[in-house]
Amino acid sequence: MDSKGIADLIAKGLREGLARPGQSNAILLPQFRTAGMPKEMVELAAETATLLGEAIASLIETEGGVEMIAKEEVAELRERARVVEHDSAKRVVPVHCRCDKSRSRPLAVLTVTDSPAVVIDGKQLIGSLSKLSPECPHGILS
């Protein structure tokens, strides 16, 4: 809900009554009790409630430093942050040889997690590394 929606909600509360948290009875302001009033006065009271709602919403955003957004949007942002946090727990780290100055051809790529140890397939790593020249695995110095 944007600030316009909040302003409308406040105006509705002013017109129909505002309930305090944990209380069932609403606070009804006398200037917004319009039963039996002429149409012009009812419209004036409604417009006053709207103006007060807009002013209160603006005060909360400007002086209070609060940005009003819908609960659904907050839930979505929290979920995105959780996913990013979870994904950042896994990092892909390339392992480069000193002769690969441009760091364009890694010898291995490891996935590092929050775990205190990195576990790899030793057979696959040794098999791959044994096929490379010990002088320069990339053939750059040969």
Work out the average pLDDT over 89-117. Answer: 79
pLDDT tops 70 at residue 84: no
pLDDT at 87: 60
Q: Locate the DSSP E strands across 12-104.
A: 18-19, 26-27, 91-95
More confident residue, 128 or 48: 48
CA–CA dist 135, 98 (Å, integer):
11
Task: Say how many domains are in the chain.
Answer: 2
pLDDT at 46: 92
pLDDT, averaged across the chain: 83
Residues 7 and 48 in one domain: yes
In a domain, 54, yes or no: yes
In a domain, 72, yes or no: yes
Work out the average pLDDT over 107-131. Answer: 81
Phi/psi zone of residue 39: left (φ > 0), alpha (ψ -120 to 50 degrees), beta? alpha
In order of 14, 32, 41, 82, the CA distances from 36 in angstroms are 18, 12, 10, 54
Residues 104 and 125 in one domain: yes
More confident residue, 103 or 123: 123
* Residue 109 belongs to domain spanning: 90-130
Residues 69 and 15 in one domain: yes
CA distance from start to end of the chain: 66
The answer to whether residues 7 and 74 touch, using CB atoms and an 8 Å cutoff, is no
pLDDT at 112: 79
